[in-house]
Amino acid sequence: CGLRNEESRIVGGQTTSMNEFPWMARLSYLNKFYCGGTLINDRYVLTAAHCMKGFMWFMIRVTFGEHDRCVEKSPETRYVVRVMTGDFSFLNFENDIALLRLNERVPLSDTIRPICLPTMLDNEYVEAKAIVSGWGTLKEDGKPSCLLQEVEVPVMSLQACRNTSYSARMISENMLCAGYLEGQKDSCQGDSGGPLITEREDKKYELIGVVSWGNGCARPGYPGVYTRVTRYMDWILKHSKDGCFCEHN
């Protein structure tokens, strides 16, 4: 898991290399791209609960191994057979996390590979360099990107985030903020549900956040807000047991 392929909602980022993030999943509804997700084993995708609310889950398609979503080709595609969400509310975006069980296992390869999940659940990742990726808009109210984008954002402490332009009560312990106080780099519309990852000492990447919400995109004083994955690890493992966290490396 977590091996990035390197050759040598995203604003202010850059286009990724082909299949650089092999755990990246694209969610589409009625053939229209609308959210991101992350492959955590050969049967389950983690995304945001707000990407599921109000949608008929059996009409959601999940595709893997893509780079340019606008080119007609035949990526690995699965359908959702079960959606698990916790106690999510649109009022405060608390518990904005969802697990999708796929209709068939995904064949793991160099281009499709799961992300590693956190093992140190007390790690708050403060000051960690994190990467968010997605096909979301390149500016607020813009068009979604054809090519998968990535941007590096630093993780903030909860205290620092509560001292931004957000009111302190909006930022719960189940959330993680990442971004720059001056703005300019951020996830954006369409990046929702996608991964915020960080590199471990063994050079593998682990999932630390799920793109959740923010005030606009890359606005000064408003960092991106992510669901803090470490707070949900027991729930994730409990509900994804029949998937194989196989090492195919």
Whole-number percent of the chain with pLDDT over 70: 96
**Does the active-site annotation cover 87?**
no
Which residue ranges does the chain devote to CATH 2.40.10.10? 22-114+233-239, 116-230
Tokens at 109, concatenated: 């390869």
Average pLDDT over residues 19-29: 96
Active-site residue (options: 42, 67, 96, 191): 96
Tell me how far apart the alpha carbons of residues 181 and 166 are, in angstroms, rounded to a whole number. 12
**Does the active-site annotation cover 239?**
no
Tell me how far apart the alpha carbons of residues 208 and 186 are, in angstroms, rounded to a whole number. 16
Tell me how far apart the alpha carbons of residues 247 and 217 are, in angstroms, rounded to a whole number. 36
> What digits encode the pLDDT tens for the residues 131-145?
999 999 888 888 889
> What digits encode the pLDDT tens for the residues 89-132?
999 999 999 999 999 999 999 999 999 999 999 999 999 999 99
Query: Which is the CATH superfamily of the domain at 22-114+233-239?
Result: Trypsin-like serine proteases (2.40.10.10)
Identify the pLDDT of residue 248.
47
Active-site residue (options: 42, 50, 133, 240): 50
Tokens at 61, concatenated: 């398609």
Active-site residue (options: 133, 145, 187, 192): 192
Question: What's phi and psi for 237, nearest 5 deg?
Answer: -65, -35
Enter the pTM of the model. 0.93
The chain-wide mean pLDDT, for the chain, equals: 92
160 pLDDT above the threshold of 60: yes
Report helix, strand or coil for 238. helix
CB 34 within 8 A of CB 175: no
**Does the active-site annotation cover 192?**
yes
8 pLDDT above the threshold of 70: no
Q: Which CATH architecture does the domain made up of 116-230 adopt?
A: Beta Barrel (2.40)
> Which of 235-242's residues contact partners 24+ apart within 8 Å by CB, and which partners?
235/86, 235/97, 236/40, 236/46, 236/99, 236/117, 237/117, 239/44, 239/84, 239/99, 240/40, 240/41, 240/43, 240/44, 240/99, 240/101, 242/43
Report helix, strand or coil for 43. coil
